[in-house]
Amino acid sequence: RCSVDNRVTRVAWLNRSSILYAGNDKWCLDPRVVLLANTKTQYSIQIQDVDVYDEGPYTCSVQTDNHPKTSRVHLIVQVSPKIIEISPDISINEGGNVSLTCLATGRPDPTITWRHISPKAVGFISEDEYLEITGITREQSGEYECSASNDVSAPVVQRVKVTVNYPPYISDAKSTGVPVGQKGILLCEASAVPSADFQWYKDDKRLAEGQKGLKVENKPFFSRLTFFNVSEQDYGNYTCVASNQLGNTNASMILYGE
């Protein structure tokens, strides 16, 4: 807007050195620039659908009987943040190094932060476009969220999934006492990424699925060995072997009579 009074004889709006309007006459070809008011008190233009290229100085030039006068206004264009590039999901072996990147645009330049989506995580782990993790541990697996904010609108967020592979670790393998003729269960729990494959041995002999009187159930995090009708011959030492492509581990347990 440009306020004028009745001493003004000529008016014009300029963008830098280009004339946009002189009086009621439009000098620019841009259809987004329109004349809003040319009255005895106000001379105003409107820029529709503002673009970043519209940023800069605009000058209202008026001619009075005595001399020309100008009034300048600077248009600052703000742009909501937008994430234009982010690292893809990644799978890495424990102990390896991870580099994540998150690039964003916006005006003013957005602030970029990274955080680990985890119950144990506190606050940001990086206030930068780049997140470096050296010697990654299994506890550092999960989703990492990049946030870009510049106060023009709500922050934009995107996530990257980091999978940390590690060899099996048997967390539970207990010996069990069962009377003859009863049902008995030996349980072997193991955590591993990728999930462990399980095998059972009695002494040095591998137990096969479908062996008479036995059932082996393998799940991603445990294996269950069930004896439907325990006999004296079933008592003894059993070994559970958990393995994936990164390694294997085993645990021994005893099935005994009460």
The length of the chain in residues reads: 258
User: To the nearest whole percent, how much of the chain has pLDDT over 90?
Assistant: 85
Whether the model clears a pTM of 0.85, i.e. scores above it, the answer is no
Residue with tokens 């014009």: 12
Report CA 87 to chain centroid distance, whole Å. Answer: 9
pLDDT of the residue at 254: 94
Rounded to an integer, the average pLDDT of 244-252 is 96
Shortest CA distance to 177 belongs to which of 101, 234, 119, 113? 234
- Rounded to whole angstroms, what are the CA distances from 37 to 8, 17, 98? 15, 22, 59
Correct CATH for 2-75 of 3.30.420.40, 2.60.40.10, 3.90.1150.10, 3.30.70.100:
2.60.40.10
Cα separation, 33 vs 181, whole angstroms? 93
Q: Is the predicted pLDDT of residue 258 greater than 80, yes or no?
A: no
Q: Where do the domains of the chain lie? A: 2-75, 80-166, 175-256
Q: Is the predicted pLDDT of residue 134 greater than 90, yes or no?
A: yes
The answer to whether the CB of 150 falls within 8 A of the CB of 109 is: yes
pLDDT digits (tens, 9 = 90+) for 19-55: 999 999 999 999 999 999 999 999 999 999 999 999 9
pLDDT of the residue at 111: 96
What number does CATH give the domain 80-166? 2.60.40.10
- Rounded to whole angstroms, what are the CA distances from 230 to 132, 184, 188, 225, 252? 55, 7, 19, 12, 19
**Superfamily (CATH) of domain 175-256:** Immunoglobulins (2.60.40.10)
Which pair of structure tokens corresponds to residue 164? 């940390």
Q: Is the predicted pLDDT of residue 204 greater than 90, yes or no?
A: no
